[in-house]
Structure 1
Amino acid sequence: MPEKVSRRSFLKRALGFLSAAFGINAGGYYYARDIEPRLLEITNYKISDNTIPQAFHNKKIIQFSDTHLGFHYDLKQLEELIKKINKLKPDIVFFTGDLMDEPNKYKESNKIAPLLQKIKAPLGRFAIYGNHDHGGYGSDIYKSIMEEAGFILLLNENRKIEISGSSIQIIGIDDAMLGRPDIKLASENMDESLYKILLSHAPDLADGASAFNINLQLSGHSHGGQIKLPFFGALVKPPHAERYHEGFYEIGSQSPLTLYVNRGLGTTRMPFRFLSKPELTVFTLQSNSKK
């Protein structure tokens, strides 16, 4: 779907919601604009699997996503986030896309890498492209920032993380809206016996990824709907996050892929969140293996 259509749809539906739910209530407007977007929720989950090696038992992964710096999210918030991440002492950190809202218009891009460099993760820091990382002629800007920050930027490729002779596989694919995701290329030369984590900004690509023996997919993009209605759910589901937009899903019948969709940290198009708090996700790996 063209970005222009998506933007118009987002604005129309979001404005309709705000008008219906809040009317002229300044308190409701203030909450959705200035309070909930800053109510960071740290969610904790255990991930168990027979293919997770004993060497990775209790290793901690942190996922953060969709900061959209420059639109209702600033460097001070990023700095506070990084302090929270380091306090949690992750072993691995994943960023699943959309660093800046408009990369070529963001005036403080030179200040981002020095902040991201402060993230401590002894087993590695990995990132992928989101649609906003490509948008605004941002592909090279984003690549430069993440590499300067010491992140491994995965573009339709995979890497191993090793501990004491045991490994897990990390796969990263390009964005679905403005990039060229290629799960087949990204999966080349993988060890099929290893536990595999796929990073895909777009959650709906999980349907195709489920055919590649992926154990866990981590995604963002949806902002959890950004604005939700009780008993109705997500009001706005962007392209490639229409099927899966928040939390856990099991995809496939045999050896199903587990998908987790992070709600992200910033906002886009409109500076509101309602019933969709910004999220930092902590996953603790649990090995069921005797190896």
Structure 2
Amino acid sequence: MNRRTFLKRSIGSLLAFIGLSGGTYYYAREIEPFMLDIKHEELASFKIPTSFNNFKIIQFSDTHVGYHYSTGQLAELVDTINSQQPDLVLFTGDLVDEPQAYHWDDKIVQHLQNLRAKHGKYWVYGNHDHGGYGTETVKKVMDNGGFTLLQNNHVNIQIDNNQITLAGIDDVMLGSPDLQKTLENADPDLFTVLLSHEPDYADNAIESPVDVQLSGHSHGGQVRLPLIGHLYTPRYAEKYVEGKHTLQNGKLTLYVNRGIGTTRLPYRFLCKPQIHVFSLTAQQS
């Protein structure tokens, strides 16, 4: 950690402590974590077929069920996502906070089953899914919930005789990501969306025929302070923390989702939980 980063985090932590102990604590713990932000974005490209015009993709991430996020809240989230009438639902990792300690029952499976999407539900591993010996347990739950795992592989989503590519890599921190294997035999002329739990992987993806990367992991920092910004993000979410990032003059566009739940600390401040709603647009030449 360099001196500037150390000072930023030290001052930020001090201000956070003062602010939270002075009355903001209740807001950061009991109010903002429930203030869902539905972020609408347009994905426009000449590579998108006209049959995919207005095709709607919803991304959610980092629910961290079990750490101040209940299955009841997950059920409400499912209702919210369904109300958007998605064509495709994508989950970018970290289903529960501690898979090895979580008391698994059928509730999460039932809620995941209730998610509706015409063209399927897909997901990738996050570091918490792999951590704590939860890899196979989480996969079984997601399988039973109707989700298809993308782990260094891709699928084509088809409408009429037209297609787009959806790809997903294994978790960067605790898995074995292999983008070359992921895109093996993929058509580079198709519009390609990559799921990667960790956003900083975009610096690797830029070298491949990927148009859009969707990520989570950062939680947007969870706690953000005026003039200072986020205080902390985990490894591989230190460069790209939240929002939209355009790399190499538009060769790749990265969207970093702030996630739903919390971890480490049960607070959100100036960093609301979030889902993304992407609408595809076929650009005309």
TM-score, normalised via structure 1 length: 0.92
Aligned to 2:18: 20
User: Which ranges of structure 2 fall in alignment gaps of 5 or more residues?
Assistant: 1-8
Equivalent residue, structure 2, for 1:282:
277
1:50 aligns with 2:32: no
**Structure 2 residue identity aligned to 1:19:** F
Could you tell me how far 1:229 is from its partner in structure 2?
A: 1.1
Moved more, 108-117 or 75-84: 108-117
Instruction: Describe the SS at the equivalent of 1:197.
Output: strand
State how far apart, in whole Å, the 1-side matches of 2:77 and 2:10 are: 31
Aligned-residue CA RMSD in angstroms? 1.7
Does residue 256 (structure 1) correspond to residue 256 (structure 2)? The answer is: no
2:145 equivalent to 1:149:
yes
Residue 66, structure 1, aligned to residue 62, structure 2: yes
Q: Distance in 2 between matches of 1:117 and 1:157?
A: 23
Distance 1:108 1:17 in 2: 38
Tell me, yes or no, if the aligned pair for 1:52 and 1:289 is still in contact at 8 Å.
Answer: no
Percentage of identical aligned residues: 48
Q: Which moved more, 1:11-20 or 1:118-127?
A: 11-20
Structure 2 CA distance for aligned equivalents of residues 146 and 245 of structure 1: 26
How far off its partner does 1:251 sit?
Answer: 1.2
Would you identify which runs of 4 or more consecutive aligned residues in structure 1 move more than 4 Å? 11-15
Task: Tell me how far apart the structure 2 counterparts of residues 83 and 110 of structure 1 sit (CA, whole Å).
Answer: 18
- Does residue 107 of structure 1 match 2:118? no
Q: Match of 1:79?
A: 75
Give the total of aligned pairs. Answer: 278
In structure 2, the partner of 1:209 is 205
Structure 2: how far apart are the matches of 1:57 and 1:267? 34
Tell me the residue number matched to 1:172: 168
Q: 1:275 to 1:105 in 2, by over 3 A?
A: same
The equivalent of 2:243 in structure 1 is 247
Distance 1:168 1:35 in 2: 39
The 8 Å contact of residues 53 and 289 in structure 1, kept in 2 or not, is answered as no
Runs of 5+ in structure 1 lacking a partner? 1-10
- Is the CA contact (8 Å cut-off) linking 1:198 and 1:217 kept in structure 2? yes
Structure 1 residue 14, shift from structure 2 partner: 7.8
TM-score by length of 2: 0.94
CA deviation string 1:25-50 (max 9, x = no partner)? 2x311111111111111111111100
2:43 maps to a residue whose letter is: I
Q: 1:142 to 1:12 in 2, by over 3 A?
A: farther
